[in-house]
Chain A
Amino acid sequence: MLFFLLRRLLSLLPVLWGIATLVFVLMYVIPGDPARLMAGQHADERTLEVLREQMGLDRPLWERYGRFLVGLAHGDLGYSYRQRRPVSRVIFERFPATVELALAAILIALVFGISAGMVAAVKHGGFLDYGVMVLSLLGISTPVFWLGLMLIVVFSVWLGWLPVGGYGEHGALRYLLLPAVSLSAISTGYFARITRSSLLEVLRTDYILAARTRGLPEGLILFKHALRNAAMPLVTVIGTNLAGLLGGAVATETVFAWPGIGRAIYDAILVRDLPVVEGGVIFLAFVFVVANLLIDLIYAWIDPRVRLPGHAGIGAER
């Protein structure tokens, strides 16, 4: 297990380096003059000169690249042009709200996705199965920001049950509900489909047949014997779904004025505050990569076969 852990940690480094390099190119090589972006359109040449020196823009590119990487390793994500403070501060401040929203969405997706998938598999070929399939297809095809707007129209404007947006005292549940539900739509659809198809597969195996011949109650077979093995592919999909979830959070937080990193990225896009946009994206990508590492570890813990040297980790075969 320790060897597996080390191997996976090492495989993380090139990925993180690649993401960092890409963002460096995007921020400092392509956009022309960062000093001009920071000082604004009307700054005079002298100010720009001083600023360039302060920002180290007069140094050769490879030196700036080195500094950028070293800074990044220390958690330095740059300096916001508009907020006049380090990007890491902005992210630190906004991260809890995003975590709250993402976890709530995953929870909703797991509960509803798995139960819908189970119902569909048990009632295979029936009306309920068909209904779940249609709903899950609609779920994975939904633009989450639009779903959010529609939920606002129905539940906030017409029915008046829930607030239009914002962030209540101590993240009151009333404020969390609509954004979490709309963000969960795509994942719920995927989880339902995966649960259904993998449960169907397991229910066809010999050991389930054996359990049935022994006369075990159907409920026990389903929950104790079948579901446990059917859950394995689900663990993988949780990881890949996180990408959609973090991307979706940018739009959902925008729609609901939810004070997370996604909203900070959107606000920064509007005022062209590039360091916050790119710093936010680096951070979300980092969260995604680390979360997937954790999921890999959980997977290896549940299924010892994954730890074998020949196995490149889950997701490698996709």
Chain B
Amino acid sequence: MSAATERSYTMLIGLSLAALLVVTAAGADWLAPADPYKVDIGHVMQPPSAEHLFGTDYLGRDVLSRVIHGGRISLAIGVIAVLISGLVGTVIGSLAGFVGGWIDEVLMRLTDIVFAFPTALFALAVMAVFEDPTVTKIFIVLGLVGWAGIARLVRSEVISIKERDYVTAARAIGLSPLRIVVVHVLPNTVGTMSVALTLGVAGNILTEAWLSFLGLGAQPPTPSWGAMITEGQFYLTSRPWVCVFPGLAILLTVLGFNMLGDGLRDVLDPRLKQRL
């Protein structure tokens, strides 16, 4: 198989998996066969059947419906958190790169500190402080801890671009620095950014599932994939399906965004290939 077809397969599969998540999340109310919160004590822990494709959980809730609705939470957290860290990282990175001097020095030392703190542990340390962890808090926290990589990326792009002739020309005709950065410099970083952000979605979804599994994320009865696995693990040995399906959903979703990111990188920025 040639490199080009391999690349397009990666993109295609990644795109399909991501699209599947977006469609099921958007249409959850119509696609889910049952109400994800509806307790049915008469039918608890049913194995997968024609009526309940993924079985039911310890409260008789339809696992398929909960998995479909869980996609909403994962997608929202993945995307919103990445937008927050993208915004913070872009502002800090372009400020440091374009202005330079001591501002660059201070901002980059700050970035080094945030970058050196393992992101997931950082998020755990913050979430543990709240007495009532919620989905909203997770995406704010994930957004605010995940910007350091983006800031470095944007800074190095900005530095390499700002000495180009067209930027000098823009300066010469008296455009304001803000305008130069936003209109003339940042659009050139879109390629690299879209790769980083797509892979960031995958990372955020995985971290959210991990936090919710540890009880620091979405709380019951919210159908978050990580929290569903926590609830299901007590019945793991005899009724594994309650755990199997939400986990598969996480795996396929994260796989989709990783493949999409890989494919985008190969197309947009072959230089990045080495850096994963």
Contacts and interface: CB of A to CB of B under 8 A. Distances in A.
B273 A26 contact: no
A23 to B, nearest CB: 6
A282 to B, nearest CB: 8
Given A15-B116, A137-B258, A150-B244, A23 B109 contact: no
B113 A269 contact: no
Given A145-B229, A152-B236, A281 B113 contact: no
A74 interface: no
A266 B259 CA distance: 32
Interface stretch (A90-98, A221-229, A239-247): A239-247
Given A138-B255, A194-B276, A197-B273, A285 B247 contact: no
B40 interface: no
Counting chain B CB atoms within 10 Å of each CB, the highest count among A23, A140, A190, A272 belongs to A140
Interface stretch (A59-67, A76-84, A203-211, A248-256): A248-256
Contacts of A265: 124
Contacts of B164: none
A233 interface: yes
Nearest to A15: B116
A284 B121 CA distance: 8
B75 interface: no
Contacts of B233: 149, 255
A137 B251 CA distance: 10
B117 interface: yes
Interface residues of A, number: 62
A54 B262 CA distance: 55
B240 interface: yes
Given A141-B202, A143-B209, A254-B214, A22 B273 contact: no
A141 B254 contact: yes
B90 to A, nearest CB: 17
A68 B35 CA distance: 50
Interface in A48-70: none
A306 B226 CA distance: 42
A26 B126 contact: yes
Nearest to B133: A269
Given A149-B243, A269-B214, A285 B128 contact: no
Contacts, number: 153
B237 interface: yes
Contact of A243 (B118, B129, B206, B209): B118
B22 interface: no
Contacts of B3: 125
A288 B110 CA distance: 18
Contact of A153 (B110, B121, B131, B240): B240
Given A19-B113, A138-B255, 5 more contacts: A26-B126, A247-B124, A272-B131, A284-B121, A285-B122
Interface of A: 11, 14-15, 18-19, 22-23, 26-27, 30-31, 125, 130, 137-138, 140-147, 149-150, 152-153, 157, 164, 190, 193-194, 197-198, 201, 233, 237, 242-244, 246-247, 250-251, 254-255, 265-266, 269-270, 272, 274, 277-278, 281, 284-285, 288-289, 292, 317-318
21 contacts: A18-B114, A19-B117, A137-B255, A143-B209, A143-B210, A145-B210, A145-B229, A157-B237, A164-B237, A193-B276, A197-B273, A198-B274, A243-B118, A244-B118, A254-B214, A269-B216, A277-B125, A281-B121, A285-B118, A288-B121, A318-B275
